[in-house]
Amino acid sequence: MQPAISTQPATTRCNFYHLFSVDKSNGTALPLGSFADDPNQSGVENFLSAGDLVFSGSSLYLTAYKQSDFNPLTKTRNYLLQLDRNNGSVLGSNQLLSGANDVRDVFGLAVVNPMFGLGFIGNSNDPAVFTINPSNGSVSNVYSITPSGGGGPIIVPKPTGATFVPTGGPQPIPEPSTLALVIYAAGVWLGWRSRLLLKA
């Protein structure tokens, strides 16, 4: 039986970052292991702040910060970690870089072949979508996220997550191209002219 949830303040807090296996039928989340080591343990690199998880094939990736250089104000230097899906341990890490620029606040990852990320490049406060090479962390094909119909980049709100759209999922309604409109108008005009000529 699921115990009731109290609204009382927390009685205990701890500072570990874990990978969980979640029962999608009820939300039960069992910790598989920590991907950040004991923050009090010296000489071990710790990773903080789970941005987003994504599977690429059987490999599991996570975006996070290094505790040793984490600045909560600037949130620079995001890393892409490869995790052991069985226990959350870090198998490898690469700093996410767009050229020489740090990539920060990557709270969205999705694999549609290739891997895509949502985040901020350098000092920009405009969210962007980009591709990620998981083997070295390099970021390319950067596009500012812009609402359809114009209006410029979205500064607020901020992306918090992402996932792939299934085959047959919602597709954007295509806007008729200028060429299509010109052809259509020309056809209507020619049709009207030919009718006039036939009547004459």
Partner 1 sequence: MHRFSLVLTVACVWFSSVQAGPLIYMCDDTGKLWTVDTSNGTATILSSMHDSSDNPVVMTDIALDPTTNVLYGISSDDRLYTIAPSTGLASPVGQLGFVTGGLFRVVDANALEFDAAGNLYAAGDDTMQLLPSI
Window 95 to 134, contacts with partner 1 (CB under 8 A): 107-108, 110, 112-113, 116, 118, 128-129, 131
Count of chain residues binding partner 1 (CB under 8 A):
90
At closest approach, how far in Å is the CB of 133 from partner 1? 15
Spatial distance between the Cα atoms of 112 and 99, rounded to a whole number of angstroms: 23
5 binds partner 1 (CB under 8 A): yes
At closest approach, how far in Å is the CB of 142 from partner 1? 9
In the complex with partner 1, which residue's Cβ is closer, 44 or 165? Answer: 165
Burial label for 95, CB within 10 Å (0-12, 13-18, 19+), is middle
The only residue of 38, 45, 69, 175 in contact with partner 1, by rule CB under 8 A: 175
What residues between 33 and 52 interact with partner 1 by CB under 8 A?
A: 35, 48-52
Q: Give me 125's structure tokens.
A: 């406060």
Integer distance in angstroms from the first to the last C-alpha of the chain? 87
At closest approach, how far in Å is the CB of 187 from partner 1? 2
Question: What is each CA distance from 136 to 24, 81, 91, 98, 196, in whole angstroms?
Answer: 33, 11, 14, 11, 67
In the complex with partner 1, which residue's Cβ is closer, 137 or 153? Answer: 153
At closest approach, how far in Å is the CB of 80 from partner 1? 13
What residues between 135 and 164 interact with partner 1 by CB under 8 A?
A: 141, 143-148, 154, 156-164
What residues between 11 and 30 interact with partner 1 by CB under 8 A?
A: 11-30
91 binds partner 1 (CB under 8 A): no
Q: Which residues contact 80 (CB under 8 A, 6 or more apart)?
A: 61, 62, 63, 93, 94, 96, 106, 132, 134, 137
Question: What is each CA distance from 124 to 36, 78, 94, 127, 133, in whole angstroms?
Answer: 28, 15, 21, 8, 21
Longest dimension (CA), the chain: 95
In 3D, which of 108, 110, 78 has the Cα closest to residue 96?
78
The only residue of 73, 179, 198, 200 in contact with partner 1, by rule CB under 8 A: 179
At closest approach, how far in Å is the CB of 101 from partner 1? 17
